Structure 1
Amino acid sequence: MKTRLLLAAILLATAACTGLPGGHATPAPGLTLASWNVEHLAERDGTGCRPRTAADYAAMRAHVERLDADVVAFQEVESRAAAERVFDPARWTVLVEERIGTPRTSACGGRAKGQTIRAQRTGFAIRKGLPFDRQPDLTALQLGDPDLRSGVDVILRPRGGQPLRLLSVHLKSGCSAGDRNEACPVLFRQVPVLEQWIDRRAAEGMRFAVLGDFNRRLALPGDAVWAEWDDASPANADLSLAAGDRTAQCNPRYRDFIDHIVLDRRAAADLAGFDEATYAGEALSDHCAISARLR
């Protein structure tokens, strides 16, 4: 009897150590990728085109932790210092594009009258402990314009898992569909630059994903930009949008995503789920974060 009781106690203790109800085995490791345009994130309180208070930054930090992502591609941050107000440097490694840009003097207007626009940079926040190698920024996306965003390029090397190459982008705004708007010629010059990056990655032996604010409704039937990229040439350039046929819920005025997580054929085969993190109260940004979980 004493032996049976001792064995039962050991089994219960083992179950408790898993941290899972009933002592179920720990789930197979996965990787959650997210993208969030944080809308004019400035270094200091009360500055930039979305002036924020200390409480606003705290709410954004809490929102990030609720995402429970391993990697977050972000857009519209003034600097690394600005990003670290949202991504706690004790928990995240923050990478920001190296582009300097030109001094910004344009007035914000609207609710930020008296303020001037700050730099808008893209980058990544990577959970501490997740190994990675940073690659050179994709500066060709700037088209020679210092105020267009470059792409931040990293290779994740999760322990016990396959490497994954990621690119964080923020493409030219103002051409969400069609080709007639004033901004469209610029966006359409960025398209082959990104296609070249995609095709090079597709020819390599590594999964990849492009994340960020594409400022384009890529899921529209017959979209010309998506057709250029999703051409299955090379074979792994048979691409997928992680959102699938989901519609955006962030703002009822806009049903089509312009923020995307684009997966190559190999990464798409590992897709286990997609989510959009809407806001329960006041919106923390004019964009909602999206995330994809890979097995």
Structure 2
Amino acid sequence: MSWNLQWLSEQQQEVKRTEQDYTMLKQVFLTYEPDILAFQEVDSAASLQRIVPNDQYQIFMSSRIKNKEDIFNGVNQFTGFAVKNYLTVKKHPDITTLSSPALALGEKQYYQQKLRYGSAITVSLNQHDIIVVNVHLKSGCFTPKQLKNNRKKSCRTLNFQRTLLQQWIKQQQINKQPFILVGDFNHHIAFKTTNNATNFFSSNNKQGPLKWLTNNVKGNCLTKKIKNKKVYYRHYKELIDHGFSSEHFNITSVQQLPYSKEQVSTYQLSDHCPVIFSLSFTPFISS
């Protein structure tokens, strides 16, 4: 499951939630009880434990939480994982370059930023290691046209992040390393039939194909925002939470889990609906 929890924090500066709101978020989570939750916009393990049972899951926060140069005063948006205790898992080095991608790529007009790391874990399954990466990319460049034009600063940043992730993917494919990449991409990824690829990543190369797991998932997420004591509703019909994988995985099912109208009107949940993945794993792929 990938779920952006919209400023989940004990400090409640950005989004204020009641005890009943937390209870409903926990109920949504426990309805599905995923083996792995890739979360975004969580300020601390303590705030996540109000939703995820501490006795059933182990929590892995992004290493950004320990890097004073890459965090803000007050509330932060961290990525990370909650993993069921029965799974054998360990922390994998985060993709820290996503924080200041222009700087990481050596661009002449680079600029220091404090963006989210790509948090990573290694899950051992049937004596094979699977790397799972969870990203929360730069917001503000939502359409393929904007990304291609590359005029907005947010689009330039997202393009830099995209380049870094493409490099990471290529290295995993060279190593024949099974991997899953999920999270909030903050972009309406489109499929290009001309070359069997997305506008975001190259799908096929010499190293092997990249699977777009959310290709056939339609967005259908009703959300609520309270500003100046006024309530606003918005229905998101295009997906920005996505998943990709190496060729070692086949899709059993992938779906977005929309909130009901009653849930949204009654509770302060999130401006993202969770996306849940059910995948099968084939360790050996013939060349």
Would the TM-score normalized by the shorter structure come out above 0.5? yes
Q: 1:103 aligns with which of 49, 69, 72?
A: 72
Aligned position for 1:140? 97
The separation in 1 between residues aligned to 2:50 and 2:198, in whole angstroms, is: 34
Structure 1 residue 50 displacement after superposition:
1.1
Aligned position for 1:171? 137
Per-residue deviation, residues 114-152 of structure 1 (Å, max 9, x unmatched) = xxxx20110111111100121111101111545200111
Letter of the 1:139 counterpart? T
The separation in 1 between residues aligned to 2:189 and 2:39, in whole angstroms, is: 19
Aligned position for 2:270? 285
State how 1:182-201 maps to structure 2 within 5 Å.
182-201=153-172
Structure 1 residue 241 displacement after superposition:
2.2
Per-residue deviation, residues 232-276 of structure 1 (Å, max 9, x unmatched) = 22433x222222323111137432210001122222xx2111121
Work out whether 1:93 is the aligned partner of 2:58: yes
Aligned position for 2:76? 119
CA contact (8 A) 1:102 1:146 kept: no
Moved more, 56-65 or 208-217: 56-65
Aligned position for 1:275? 255
Q: 2:211 aligns with which of 220, 240, 245?
A: 240
Structure label with greater radius of gyration: 1
State how 1:203-282 maps to structure 2 within 5 Å.
203-219=174-190, 221=192, 226-227=198-199, 229-236=201-208, 238-251=209-222, 253-267=235-249, 270-280=250-260, 281-282=262-263
How many residues align structurally? 244
CA contact (8 A) 1:199 1:234 kept: no
Higher strand proportion, which one? 2
State the identity %. 27
State how 1:21-170 maps to structure 2 within 5 Å.
34-44=1-11, 47-99=12-64, 100=67, 101-104=70-73, 118-143=75-100, 145=112, 147-158=114-125, 160=126, 162-170=128-136
Determine helix, strand or coil for the equivalent of 1:122. strand
Cα 1:222/1:77, change in 2 over 3 Å: farther
CA contact (8 A) 1:198 1:229 kept: no
Determine helix, strand or coil for the equivalent of 1:235. coil
Moved more, 243-252 or 198-207: 243-252
The separation in 1 between residues aligned to 2:3 and 2:235, in whole angstroms, is: 19
Cα 1:234/1:227, change in 2 over 3 Å: farther
Structure 1 residue 162 displacement after superposition:
4.2
CA contact (8 A) 2:92 2:131 kept: no
Moved more, 90-99 or 238-247: 238-247
The separation in 2 between residues aligned to 1:218 and 1:229, in whole angstroms, is: 9
CA contact (8 A) 2:5 2:40 kept: yes
